[in-house]
Amino acid sequence: MRLLAVLALSLALLAACGGDDDRPATVTRAEPTTTSEAAPDPPPEEEPRAEPELALEEVASGLESPVHVAGAPGEEGRLYVVEQAGRILVLDGGGPAGEPFLDIRGDVAAGGERGLLSVAFHPDYAENGRLYVNYTNSDGDTRVVEYRANEARTAVAPGTARELLAVDQPYSNHNGGQLAFGPDGLLYVGMGDGGSGGDPESRAQDLGDRLGKLLRLDVDAEGADWEVAAYGLRNPWRFSFDRETGDLHLADVGQDAFEEVNALPWPQDGLVNFGWPTFEGTSRFDDRPLTRGGRLVDPIRTYGRDAGCSVTGGFAYRGEAMPGLAGRAFYGDYCSGTIWSYRFVDGAARGARREKLRVPLLTSFGEGTAGELYLVSHQGTVFRLVEAR
Ligand SMILES: [Ca+2]
Ligand SMILES: [Ca+2]
């Protein structure tokens, strides 16, 4: 079953990359101009500390199509793994421990790019037990729901669901999926452009449409509504905020030619337009105009089909185990399993490199409570980023 699910997601992602493109054949496309392999990097900066040689340590295996991993504030040593079908399991220093923390398989439509896609814990989770999930419901639409954990924090308490966001999905693909709290304490959600290929209804540049946006909400304010933090997104499957600087690292899955990695310094300087579908990477995609109002931001890294087909955005490392790695941000590709990294300095990627690491079917990076980084393979394994011995 799992192999079928893996194949299904692989095919769906491949399709999302090109197979469903229904733009007229007369549209001309810019020739690829950059790849991460060929693009010249800026001159290397002086590194404050020697960087460690990196390796992957297996933390858990045998999971069913895991797509995300996260730690909760105030909890050392516990890790929450999101299974696409609709479960959250607790890793307590080893394999899944005890009963699922959450099981909403009955509410979730899973497969391809659909399913339970991420979890985020409230910054005051230790006190209030509140957590947030993003999933595709049985109608194929996006829901963001708040739950509360029980007193012992061993499971979600029954009857605590509070729906925060409901967005209809016109197509099965490009459902975004990431939830994360920003340095401002607001909950951010990444919304894809709705799907199909080429953003057929031009939703990503439509500021009145919630698809193709980075949205944010004050979950603590009574009656607060979602606002648009950024637009012009195709499928921001994974993003994160640097826990030290607050910088946003956001990867947007490309159409036919380029995968892109974006980064924004914190505090964010007004409304941002990430450019889709006018631009794919830094190349003109078609002749639809940009919507005015936002500041156009180009990706800081792109790569072409020679290097992969679906980017998985990551995190800046802020753990304690490898001080020399502090601030280095990682991303990878679902299809090729390749991992890259960079440092985000003065608005640009410095010291960019391809890592000597590979994770097949890389669905996500995630940050443990203490800041260590984890990588998730859709094949069922969670790895921790460690120093090579
Ligand atoms: Ca969709
Ligand atoms: Ca873009």
Q: What is the pLDDT of residue 338?
A: 98
Query: What tokens appear for 317 in the block?
Result: 């490392």
- Alpha-carbon distance 194 to 54, whole Å? 37
Q: How far, in Å, from the CA of 197 to the mean position of ligand 1? A: 10
In DSSP terms, which residues pair with 149 in a beta bridge?
A: 156
Q: Please give the helix or strand (H or E) that residue 54 lies within, else none.
A: strand 54-60
C-alpha 281, offset from chain centre: 17
Q: What is the pLDDT of residue 95?
A: 67
Q: What is the pLDDT of residue 92?
A: 83
In a domain, 22, yes or no: no
Q: How far, in Å, from the CA of 113 to the mean position of ligand 1? A: 8
Cβ neighbors of 129 (< 8 A, separation 6 or more) are 122, 148, 149, 150, 151, 153, 157
Q: Which listed ligand is nearest to 263 at the C-alpha?
A: 2
Q: Which listed ligand is nearest to 255 at the C-alpha?
A: 2
In a domain, 347, yes or no: yes
Q: How far, in Å, from the CA of 182 to the mean position of ligand 2? A: 20
Q: Which listed ligand is nearest to 12 at the C-alpha?
A: 1
Q: What is the pLDDT of residue 93?
A: 72
Q: How far, in Å, from the CA of 174 to the mean position of ligand 2? A: 15
Q: How far, in Å, from the CA of 183 to the mean position of ligand 1? A: 28
Best CA proximity match to 218, nearest among 210, 209, 228, 226:
226
Q: How many independent structural domains does the chain possess?
A: 1
Q: How far, in Å, from the CA of 105 to the mean position of ligand 2? A: 33
CA torsion, points 348, 351, 352, 357, in degrees to nearest 10? -140
- The 10 Å CB-count burial string (b at 16+, else e) for 126-152 is eeebbbbbbbbbeeebbbbbbbbbeee
Task: Give 16's DSSP letter.
Answer: I
- Alpha-carbon distance 101 to 43, whole Å? 47
Q: How far, in Å, from the CA of 153 to the mean position of ligand 2? A: 39
Q: Is the preceding peptide bond at 360 cis, omega within 30 degrees of 0?
A: no
Q: How far, in Å, from the CA of 192 to the mean position of ligand 2? A: 12
In a domain, 91, yes or no: yes
Q: How far, in Å, from the CA of 61 to the mean position of ligand 2? A: 34
pLDDT along the chain (389 residues), means of 10: 43 40 37 47 62 97 97 94 98 79 98 98 98 98 98 96 98 98 98 98 98 98 97 98 98 98 95 98 97 97 98 96 98 98 97 98 97 98 97
Q: Is the preceding peptide bond at 277 cis, omega within 30 degrees of 0?
A: yes
Q: How far, in Å, from the CA of 138 to the mean position of ligand 1? A: 13
Residue-range definition of the domain harbouring residue 379:
2-16+43-387
Q: Which listed ligand is nearest to 261 at the C-alpha?
A: 2
Q: How far, in Å, from the CA of 258 to the mean position of ligand 2? A: 10
DSSP letter string, 100-117: -SEE-GGGB--BTTBSEE
Q: How far, in Å, from the CA of 233 to the mean position of ligand 2? A: 6
Q: How far, in Å, from the CA of 1 to the mean position of ligand 1? A: 24
Q: How far, in Å, from the CA of 221 to the mean position of ligand 2? A: 31
Q: What's the predicted TM-score (pTM) here? A: 0.88
Q: How far, in Å, from the CA of 273 to the mean position of ligand 2? A: 8
Q: How far, in Å, from the CA of 327 to the mean position of ligand 2? A: 23
In a domain, 24, yes or no: no
Q: How far, in Å, from the CA of 253 to the mean position of ligand 2? A: 9
Q: How far, in Å, from the CA of 190 to the mean position of ligand 1? A: 12
Q: Please give the helix or strand (H or E) that residue 143 lies within, else none.
A: strand 142-148
In a domain, 35, yes or no: no
Work out the burial of residue 328: count CB atoms within 10 Å of its CB; fewer than 13 is exposed, 13-18 middle, 19 or more buried: buried
**Do residues 278 and 248 touch, judged by C-beta distance below 8 A?**
no
Q: Which listed ligand is nearest to 279 at the C-alpha?
A: 2
Best CA proximity match to 387, nearest among 92, 75, 50:
50
**Do residues 379 and 63 touch, judged by C-beta distance below 8 A?**
no
Q: What is the pLDDT of residue 3?
A: 40
Q: How far, in Å, from the CA of 4 to the mean position of ligand 2? A: 32
Task: Give 63's DSSP letter.
Answer: -
Q: How far, in Å, from the CA of 281 to the mean position of ligand 1? A: 21
Q: What is the pLDDT of residue 144?
A: 98
Q: Let me know the angle formed at the C-alpha of 292 by 287 and 297, rounded to the nearest 5 degrees.
A: 80
- Alpha-carbon distance 212 to 207, whole Å? 9
In a domain, 26, yes or no: no
In a domain, 29, yes or no: no
In a domain, 121, yes or no: yes
Say which CATH number the domain at 134 has: 2.120.10.30
Q: How far, in Å, from the CA of 137 to the mean position of ligand 1? A: 12
**Do residues 44 and 350 touch, judged by C-beta distance below 8 A?**
yes
Q: How far, in Å, from the CA of 280 to the mean position of ligand 2? A: 6
C-alpha 93, offset from chain centre: 24
